[in-house]
A = this chain, B = another copy of it.
Amino acid sequence: MIGYETFELGDFVLQNGATLRGARLVYNTYGALNAQKSNAVVYPTRFGGRHSDNEWLIGEGMALDPTEYFVVVPNMLGNGLSSSPSNTPPPYDRARFPRVTVYDNVAAQHRLLTERFGVEKLALVVGYSMGAQQTFQWGASYPGMVERILPFCGSARTSPHNFVFLEGVKAALTADAAFKGGWYDQPPTTGLRAFARVYAGWALSQAFYRERVYLEQGYSSLEDYLIAFWEGNYVGKDANDLLAMLWTWQNADIAATPGFDGDLEMALGAVEAKAIVMPGQTDLYFTPEDNEYEVSRMPNAELRPIPSIWGHLAGSGRNPEDVRFIDEALKELLAT
């Protein structure tokens, strides 16, 4: 977390008409912008993640080599570092935090890249999960600016089933009366733990559990995995922040970009960037089938599923084989 920067967005008007006054985008950078400003990469964060959670894919010898590229990792609005329910002053604080779209996130990131760094071309936008949704959005919002995209384990539009999965985790969290409609002073820990426990079944494949891969990850039993990894991951997070990002996720849709009028085919057709779209082969909510459709409507895209039993977490950086597979695709894409 050390060493991040803040970009002041000022009075940031959102797609739904609300103004987030004094909005800010927190980001970190890796490497240096070259003189031609041709080596910039944007790598947005995932649901519940922060810039530091992206660092496993950045490093010397890897595709995102900071000696070669200038990698900018902007924190998603709602993640607790950039403007979020938990850090916004009244009256748009906590349960009153406005609804932020993926479009809004990318508009804010575009201002960061252009205003602060004077970047006019992006060599690449890459992202995992909700980061992949922002990646698709970059391609649709700024087709002339983005040369390549590599969204992994994420879709251009949240599917109805994915929406229902999120209804489930949301219902589990808000079933805790301590949530108080978002006006809690003490965190709704029972709800956060329930949220985590529901999430645990979705984020990994049936085969991951069948083969008890968690035992190889330092967890002593299934219950230990559910508590130490899953509950541990969410119990310290802010409930309103999670729900703000969850709303963004449920409503992710590049066709909601002004000009496309809800037409997904048109929006996908507008993504000119050379793309490798990488679903996790066993992802239960961002399914390969959804990406397959999307790729079929994109002018310059290839579908390349990650052959993994890690479900959605194939893109989480936890399984070295999956990391290699993604990194190799990134190298190939950047070489074109």
Contact = CB atoms under 8 A, between A and B. Distances in A.
Given A198-B198, A284-B284, A209 B164 contact: yes
Interface stretch (A59-67, A189-197, A241-249, A298-306): A189-197
Given A175-B176, A176-B177, A191-B175, A209 B167 contact: no
Interface in A126-169: 159-165, 167-169
A168 B289 contact: no
A201 interface: yes
A167 B226 contact: yes
Contacts of A176: 175-177
A222 interface: yes
A159 B289 contact: no
A228 interface: no
A289 B160 contact: no
Nearest 8 A/B pairs, CB to CB:
A168-B198, A161-B209, A171-B194, A172-B172, A160-B209, A171-B197, A175-B194, A161-B206
14 contacts: A160-B210, A164-B200, A164-B209, A169-B198, A171-B198, A172-B194, A174-B194, A175-B175, A175-B191, A175-B193, A176-B176, A177-B178, A206-B284, A210-B290
A163 to B, nearest CB: 7
B171 A210 contact: no
A101 interface: no
A79 B17 CA distance: 50
A190 B168 contact: no
Given A207-B289, A289-B206, A289-B207, A201 B161 contact: yes
